[in-house]
Structure 1
Amino acid sequence: MFKRSPPCLGGAILCGTLLMSGCANQMSQRSEHEERVERKLTEHVLQVDMGEPQTLELPQRRVRIHEFKTFEVKEFDVTRHYDRYTPYQPWREIYEIPLGAVAVVAGIGANIANVVAFGHLPDSMTKDWLSYGLAGLNPFMNAPSHGRAQQNLAGIDEVQRDSRIEKSNLPWNERPVLVKAGSETHELSTDRNGVLRLNLLDSPFAEQDLSRVTRLYVSVEDDQDNTHGDATLPISSTLRGKLLEAHALIYDDLEDDEVSQWVHRVKRLSELGLEEQASELEQSLIDMTRNDPQLQHELIKSLARDAGRLVALPN
């Protein structure tokens, strides 16, 4: 019985492997272009503006908070290069080999005709037909196909186009602010314009004894990079002496008082220099008596006579 020698067996296995795996048909390289912008934060400052005067003389104050950022901006033109190829599939040789033979014959004919035409025939006839035909005749390679093409990233080229410095100044809008008053720390929030409205006669300060608190500490922090900003606001001794009395005038029960006591509260707040609080209390009393026109009229008359305050009758 005939036995195949090992070298012959190895050659057969090698040919079979080549036939099954085949070769990828390399195609023309493809490139993609895009622009990339790189922004690098180089400076970040949170500025707390406590306003004027430097010492708090009135219970209310508007604190403005701004965020300053400096960026180094670089613009790049980026080009990505891709190697394209047609993956090998053995069963396609069934139709590619005869088509390749036809394409080779057509390509040879086109090149002969191109000599007669003095080189005016397009490359798609003289070169591409031949290339397609030779690839089709090769049993270990498929003809190039754009529909089946695959690609791998071959390289990236970056060219810097521009470099500049950008600065931004934005309000610390609707962001948290910590205010420390004595042993208490309160978390408040700015409005859409980055303004924090402090009022020592309003919550949460109204529930705290501020007579021994000499200053307020205001601080903000950006959690992303731990940038801090802080400032202090001294409270005048005169204001601290007024706060306790003013708190009683505003928040003590109004229901059991007489009209004269209401007027006294408004007048006393005005005498303490707290005109904003006096006007707010006055308006609250007007609203409270709107269902009793006679009582409301008496209140308005007493405010004008005893406190010198002119209040227009509500519509």
Structure 2
Amino acid sequence: MFTPHTLRLCSAAFGGAFFLAGCANHLPQRSEHEARIERILLAHNLQIEVGDPQVLQLPQRRVHIHEQKTFEVTEFEVTRRYDRYTPYQPWRELYEVPLGALAVVAGIGANALNVLMLGRLPDSVTKDWISYGFAGLNPLLNAESNGRSQQNLASLDEQQHEKRTEYSNLPWAERPVMVNAGEQTHELTSDRTGVLRLNLLDGPFAEQDVSHVGKLLLSVEDPQDGTRAEATLLVSHLLRGKLLEAHALIYDDLEEDEVAQWVHRVKRLSELDLEEEASELEQSLIELTHNDPQLQQEFLDLLMKDAARLGAKPVVSD
């Protein structure tokens, strides 16, 4: 059994705790509206277009790579409602109580004046001053304050508006492409348009004897979901027979050769139907002799005489 003294102590403690805790001053509810789009991936494909013919007759080939995706797109309208309140802080009563008393007196005076002015004063004077005053006078309630208000999510409402299917077809831009050539695998990179420029006489293939490689296996893979695609490009027997000789014509040391041997290299590449390589070698030799105009002219004259090629001098800027 509790004694009267104990009951009085409990009552005092409860009253003190209630006084210190106070009451939150609830503010008008706030709402937020937003549009949300949900995209679900339905299909993901990679496509490698090696071009025609599928058998390489020349050492160069432009390979186009595309990434295709299908999405289910759903649009939602989302409404969030928040309960707002001013948290109770007891020390604020030190200034809110006297201010509240002044606000009540001012509000009563404003209402009296409003009667004489036939109701022309705004509600922010006639009603809000009195509301603020009574909140300030209440020792268990702070006056409303938007500046230190807090909020809790009261409800969340989502309404679906539209559902549609979207398709995308984008280039495999600046991403890795694996090329298996015989016993070696090379990692190349597509350009920003999704094109891989293969050249069996350039890049990593120049350091490999590809004259015995009968096919190239190209593969791409998206590491995010493991989507993968492969394509095969055959190398013709005729091209394989040209590659070894063409490699020597392009990459053997040029500076130890005579001018006549330079012309022979360009002419022989042209005879092998490797016109692009012949033009590149011709231009390289013209640039190599840039600082020796006499040697450069000798090369151009002999090129015209023996190979019937009119080499174009590079444009020299002042």
TM bucket (normalised to shorter chain) is: 0.7 to 0.9
Flag structure 1 segments of 5+ consecutive residues without an equivalent. none
Q: Gaps (5+ residues) in structure 2?
A: none
CA distance in 2, matches of 1:146, 1:261: 89
Question: Does the C-alpha gap of structure 1 residues 255 and 9 become closer, same or farther in structure 2, counting only changes over 3 Å?
Answer: closer
**Matched residue type, 2:59:** P
> In the alignment, what sits opposite 1:38?
38
Cα displacement (A) at 1:238: 0.8
Distance 1:18 1:270, change over 3 A: same
**Partner residue in 2 for 1:263:** 263
Structure 2 counterpart of 1:255, one-letter code: E
Compared CA separation, residues 296 and 106, structure 1 to 2 (3 A): closer
Q: How many residues of Structure 1 are paired with residues of Structure 2 in the alignment?
A: 313
For residues 301 and 144 of structure 2, the distance between their equivalents in structure 1, rounded to whole angstroms, comes to 100
Q: Secondary structure at the match of 2:212?
A: coil
Counterpart residue number, 1:165: 165
Task: Tell me what 1:296 maps to.
Answer: 296
Q: Residues 214, 138 of structure 1: CA spacing in aligned structure 2 closer, same or farther, 3 A cutoff?
A: same
- 1:145 matched to which residue of 2? 145
The alignment yields a C-alpha RMSD, in angstroms, of 2.9
Q: In structure 2, how many angstroms separate the alpha carbons of the residues matched to 1:133 and 1:5?
A: 38
Structure 1 position 141, deviation (Å): 1.9
Which residue matches 1:179?
A: 179
**CA deviation map 1:114-134 (0-9, x unaligned):** 899998875546654554444
Q: Share of identical aligned residues, percent? A: 67
- 1:54 equivalent in structure 2: 54
Structure 1 residues 87 and 294 mapped into 2: Cα distance closer, same or farther (>3 Å)? closer
Matches within 5 A, 1:1-315: 5-100=5-100, 123-124=123-124, 127-312=127-312
Offset at residue 176 of structure 1 (A): 1.5
What is the distance in 2 between the residues matched to 1:279 and 1:131? 91
Distance across 1 between alignment mates of 2:218 and 2:236: 17
Q: Residues 255 and 117 of structure 1: is their aligned pair in 2 closer, same or farther, counting only changes over 3 Å?
A: closer
Deviation of the 1:199 alpha carbon: 0.8
Check 1:92–1:205 CA distance in 2 against 1; reply closer, same or farther (3 A cut): closer
**CA distance in 2 between partners of 1:291 and 1:148 (Å):** 78
SS of 1:211's equivalent in the other structure is helix
Q: 1:29 & 1:159 partners in 2: Cα distance? A: 20
Distance between the aligned counterparts of 2:235 and 2:253, measured in 1? Answer: 28
Asked whether the equivalents of residues 63 and 198 of structure 2 are also in contact (C-alpha less than 8 Å), the reply is yes
Cα 1:99–1:214 shift into 2, 3 Å? same
Aligned mates of 2:108, 2:294 — CA distance in 1? 115
CA distance change for structure 1 residues 236 and 103 in 2, over 3 Å: closer, same or farther?
same
Determine the C-alpha separation between the residues in 2 that align with 1:214 and 1:131: 91
Per-residue deviation, residues 261-313 of structure 1 (Å, max 9, x unmatched): 32222222111111111112222233333444444333333322322223345
- Counterparts in 2 of 1:287 and 1:132: CA distance versus 1, 3 Å: closer
How far apart in 2 are the matches of 1:293 and 1:140?
100
1:212 CA displacement: 2.1
Distance 1:214 1:11, change over 3 A: same
Shift of 1:183: 0.8
Q: Secondary structure at the match of 2:281?
A: helix
Q: Deviations over 1:133-177 (max 9, x none)?
A: 443343322232333322222222222333333322222222211
C-alpha separation between the residues in 2 aligned to 1:290 and 1:128?
90
How many Å apart are 1:30 and its aligned residue? Answer: 1.4
1: CA distance, partners of 2:157 / 2:261: 83
Whole-angstrom CA distance in 1 between matches of 2:93 and 2:292: 102
| 1:270–1:14 Cα change, 3 Å | same
CA distance in 2, matches of 1:136, 1:298: 103
Alpha-carbon deviation of 1:248?
1.5
